Amino acid sequence: MAALRARSLMAAAGLIALGSLAACSSSKADSTPAPAANAALWGDMKPIVSVKELMHDLIDPIGDNVFDSVAIIVEKNKTTDIQPRTQADWDKVAIGGTMLAEASYLLKVKRPFAPPGEKESPGAEEVELTPEEIMAKVQKDPVEWNARIEALRNVGLQVLDIVKRKDVQELWDAADNLEMACENCHRSYWYPGETPAYYSRLDKRLREHSLAGPSAPAPEKPPSAPKRTGQPNPTR
Ligand code: HEC
């Protein structure tokens, strides 16, 4: 709901902008537009880091401003409700929303998926695509990649809309939507091999291993848990 509201607000803003542009250009019909000058003014976007580093050092930490803003922490004999209460708390959520909305488009700047020479963690080849495979998949279907980016951006916009109204209940929904936006992209591009079939194979191997007893040789390829640093706050 809130995401839809945010989108229709954007559309309205877009219409207003278009309207004033049309008024402006009709009054100066003789002046020729200068797209080349614009290009020189705004310049090209040049990447610094790989997608992996962008995730680790920007998208993931800033996502926490949203993920960690709401939580219910259950301890032995008390339950703590985490939610934004002060203006500073809401500012932190707004920083998360702004950074996610803007930083999502950095994924549209062509950059390597991992730093050069980066090795996959052992066992990862079973579930994870290599950086080269991710690049090939993105280039084959840019529409999907761009849609995943838009999904992330929309959650950023939704968060900004919620901050205006300081609606805690909707913030919970936004945190769920954010998790989905991260997870859907990861499942498609990062660890598509992590399917239910993979988990039942893993279970079977672990069962066989423990049945064989502690003296049994380790399985050829020890199943290592796939990296999952993108998981939000487990207390929720
Ligand atoms: C448009 C797709 C996309 C979206 C959306 C996305 N990611 Fe990622 N993310 C990737 C890809 C692709 C990789 C794997 C890069 C690699 O290892 O080559 C990745 C890797 C990561 C990593 C691992 C970094 C490392 O050092 O190994 C983390 C953490 C992560 N993402 C967190 C997040 C979080 C949190 C969100 C949501 C707030 C998110 N990502 C949204 C595509 C995405």
Q: Provide the pLDDT for residue 124.
A: 85
Q: Give the start-to-end residue ranges of the domains of the chain.
A: 46-209
Mutation test residue for ligand 1: of 50, 55, 59, 95, the one with most atoms within 8 Å of CB: 55
* Terminal Cα-to-Cα distance of the chain (whole angstroms): 22
Q: What token pair was written down for 149?
A: 């980016």
Measure the CA–CA gap between 199 and 210, rounded to whole angstroms.
Answer: 16
Q: Which residues pair with 79 in a beta bridge?
A: 74
Give the H/E segment covering residue 179.
Answer: helix 168-185
Kindly indicate the confidence band of residue 3, based on its pLDDT and cuts at 50, 70 and 90: very low
pLDDT at residue 10 tops 80: no
Kindly indicate the confidence band of residue 52, based on its pLDDT and cuts at 50, 70 and 90: very high
Range list of H helices, 28-141: 35-42, 51-54, 60-67, 87-103, 131-140
String of DSSP letters for 2-42: HHHHHHHHHHHHHHHHHHHHHHHHHHTTTSPP-HHHHHHHH
Identify whether the C-beta of residue 7 lies closer than 8 Å to the C-beta of residue 157.
yes
Our answer on whether the CB atom of 135 is closer than 6 Å to any ligand 1 atom is: no
123-148 pLDDT, tens per residue?
A: 788 899 999 999 999 999 999 999 99
Q: Provide the pLDDT for residue 226.
A: 46
Query: For the residues 158-163, what does the mean pLDDT come to?
Result: 98
172-191 pLDDT, tens per residue?
A: 999 999 999 999 999 999 99
Atom 35 in ligand 1: which residue has the minimum CA distance? 60
Q: Can you tell me which residue has the tokens 């049945």? A: 211
CATH 1.20.120 is right for the domain spanning 46-209: yes
